């Protein structure tokens, strides 16, 4: 395997230096620098020698890795320098062919006072031609003179118009006493204006900073940052104000015992996730439950214990409000036991005369009556609650499922309840 790899490396090196390979590369427009070719050939030969020196693949892999690492770490800079030098030489040779045309074009632009174009177009050739370099240096000097002249003309008017930042940036680059004096003056005005806006921000006058700063946002990057912070602070303040108003209104509704309105107000508010509002919702819900509890307890005081159906219904309602209340659970169980004892009495059978008056037996099942008013409907060995008392006990299935599939059954059930209550 090592012998094969060595042979391949030697073949690659040989191909790169043969005239045939050179002709083929030129035909496909691939022109490698001679320095690059020499490095590749030497690397291939060295790789072949190393391949023959190691017996195992593992040793060979380590040797190759060290070789490539040494090459790339130590010689890549040399290769880059060689490539850059060769590329520079090629560009220089190409420039010689067009040198006179380039010089003529740049000279024309210079005479036409297009100094910026001279700098742009002549810059690629600055290292090849001293004449071009001199022309570019003169153009840069002319450009600077024009900029100084323009600054001297414009800066005083900019300061007069209160455009201090523009005046500052226009005058600052030039070390001319006249302009530097204006630069210092403009800088003082810029800093003074910023300090005023900053003081407003620190004292919480965000709306004033936003109003005044919006007109000066392009004059100072510090003002732009301050304006952004002021907008965030103002939005936060407005949000907090709205939350406070909502909290105040919710608390007022709770105090006036309008618990449902208080809950609705918070749930529909954009700040419903606020912790203080959530605490008020929790408080309103508890008070609403307590209010309903009081109403039910007042009602129970007027219901005799003999009215099992009414007691069952009200204690079931209380447990719905407070599922963990042991007292209410005991009361409900007590009335359920009383109901079970009453249920041991024989059911009220439908008489033949009543049977003829209405078809109690239907294809879906039979109506049954059990004291003190439990009306059920039997269908396929399942009992469905018909009367309210039967529903409250929770011992029977809901008949709604059957009613959805047999609309005539509701009429039968209603009639059966009337007959059973006779």
Report helix, strand or coil for 228. Answer: helix
Higher-pLDDT residue of 239, 86: 239
Bond into 372 cis (ω within 30): yes
Determine the pLDDT at residue 128. 72
pLDDT digits (tens, 9 = 90+) for 148-168: 777 776 777 777 776 766 676
Q: Is a pLDDT exceeding 70 seen at residue 341?
A: yes
> What is the arithmetic mean of pLDDT over 287-307?
90
In this structure, of 10-24, 32-46, 127-141, the range with the lowest mean pLDDT score is 32-46
Mean pLDDT, rounded, for 36-59: 52
> What are the Cα distances from residue 142, in Å, to 88, 111, 115, 177, 416?
29, 11, 7, 20, 113
Residue spans of the domains in the chain: they are 2-103, 303-342, 352-420
pTM: 0.45
Tell me if 190 sits within 8 A of 168, measured CB to CB.
Answer: yes
pLDDT higher for 91 or 65?
Answer: 91
Cβ–Cβ under 8 Å, residues 68 and 46: no
Q: So what's the pLDDT on residue 54?
A: 47
Contact 368, 347 (CB under 8 A): yes
Separation between Cα atoms, residue 312 and residue 343, nearest integer Å: 15
Residue 29 pLDDT > 60, yes or no? no
Of 3 and 253, the structure prediction assigns the larger pLDDT to: 253
pLDDT band at 197 (very low <50, low <70, confident <90, very high): confident
Residue of 83, 12, 81, 80 whose CA lies nearest to 46: 12
Query: Which of the two residues, 90 and 295, has the higher pLDDT score?
Result: 295
Stretch among 8-12, 252-256, 337-341 having the lowest mean pLDDT? 8-12
| Banded model confidence at residue 83, pLDDT cuts 50, 70, 90 | very low
Cα Rg of the chain, angstroms: 50
Cα distances from 159 to residues 169, 188, 195, 406, in angstroms, run: 12, 12, 19, 92
Confidence of residue 245 (pLDDT cuts 50, 70, 90): very high
Q: What is the pLDDT of residue 267?
A: 92
The whole-chain average pLDDT of the chain stands at 73
Q: What is the mean pLDDT of residues 355-370?
A: 61
Instruction: Give the integer Cα–Cα distance in Å for 239 and 283.
Output: 23
Residue 27's Cβ-side half-sphere holds a number of Cα atoms within 13 Å equal to 6
Confidence of residue 294 (pLDDT cuts 50, 70, 90): very high
**SS3 at position 257:** coil
Mean predicted confidence (pLDDT) in 398-420: 67
Task: Give the per-residue pLDDT at 282.
Answer: 93
Residues in the chain: 422
401 touches 383 (CB < 8 A):
no
The Cα 312–Cα 333 span in angstroms is 9
Round to whole Å and give the CA distance between 56 and 166: 74
Report the C-alpha gap between 347 and 367 in whole angstroms. 11
List, as own/partner pairs, every contact residues 6-14 make where C-beta atoms lie below 8 angstroms and the sequence separation is at least 24, other chains included: 6/47, 6/48, 6/49, 6/51, 6/52, 7/48, 9/44, 9/45, 9/47, 9/48, 9/51, 10/44, 10/45, 10/48, 12/44, 13/40, 13/41, 13/44, 13/45, 13/48
Cα within 13 Å of Cα(278), Cβ side: 5
More confident call, 236 vs 88 = 236
Q: pLDDT tier at 407 (50, 70, 90 boundaries)? A: low
For residue 4, give every residue at least 6 positions away whose Cβ sits within 8 Å of its Cβ, in sequence order, or none: none
């Amino acid at each position: 395997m090592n012998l094969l790899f060595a042979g391949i490396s030697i073949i690659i090196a040989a191909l790169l230096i043969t005239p045939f390979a050179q002709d083929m590369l030129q035909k496909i427009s691939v022109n490698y620098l001679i320095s690059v070719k020499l490095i590749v050939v030497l690397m291939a030969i060295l790789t072949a020698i190393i391949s023959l020196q190691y017996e195992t693949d593992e040793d060979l892999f380590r040797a190759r890795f060290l070789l490539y690492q040494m090459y790339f770490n130590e010689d890549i800079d040399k290769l880059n320098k060689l490539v850059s030098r060769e590329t520079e030489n090629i560009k220089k040779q190409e420039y010689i062919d067009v040198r006179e045309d380039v010089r003529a074009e740049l000279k024309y632009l210079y005479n036409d006072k297009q100094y910026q174009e001279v700098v742009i177009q002549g810059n690629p050739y600055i290292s090849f031609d001293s004449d071009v370099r001199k022309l570019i240096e003169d153009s840069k000097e002319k450009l600077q003179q024009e900029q100084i002249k323009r600054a001297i003309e414009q800066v005083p008017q900019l300061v007069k118009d209160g455009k201090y930042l523009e005046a500052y940036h226009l005058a600052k680059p030039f070390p001319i006493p006249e302009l530097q004096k204006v630069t210092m003056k403009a800088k003082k005005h810029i800093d003074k204006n910023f300090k005023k806006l900053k003081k407003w921000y620190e004292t919480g006058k965000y709306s004033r900073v936003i109003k005044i700063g919006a007109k000066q946002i392009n004059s100072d990057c510090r003002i732009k940052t301050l304006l952004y912070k002021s907008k965030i602070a103002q939005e936060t303040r407005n949000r907090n104000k709205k939350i406070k108003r909502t909290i105040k209104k919710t608390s007022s509704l709770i105090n006036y015992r309008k618990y449902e309105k208080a809950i609705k107000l918070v749930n529909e508010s954009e700040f419903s996730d606020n912790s203080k509002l959530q605490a008020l919702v929790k408080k309103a819900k508890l008070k609403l439950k307590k209010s309903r509890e009081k109403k039910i307890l007042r009602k129970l005081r007027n219901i005799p214990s003999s009215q099992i159906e009414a007691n069952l219904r009200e204690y079931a309602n209380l447990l719905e409000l407070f599922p963990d209340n042991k007292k209410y659970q005991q009361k409900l169980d007590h009335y359920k036991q009383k109901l079970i004892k009453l249920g041991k009495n024989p059911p009220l059978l439908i008489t033949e005369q009543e049977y003829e008056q209405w078809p109690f037996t239907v294809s879906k099942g039979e109506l049954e009556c059990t004291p003190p008013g439990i009306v059920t409907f039997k269908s396929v060995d399942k009992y469905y609650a018909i009367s309210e008392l039967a529903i409250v006990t929770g011992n029977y299935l809901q008949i709604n499922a059957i009613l959805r599939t047999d609309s005539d059954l509701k009429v039968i059930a209603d009639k059966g309840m009337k007959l059973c209550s006779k």
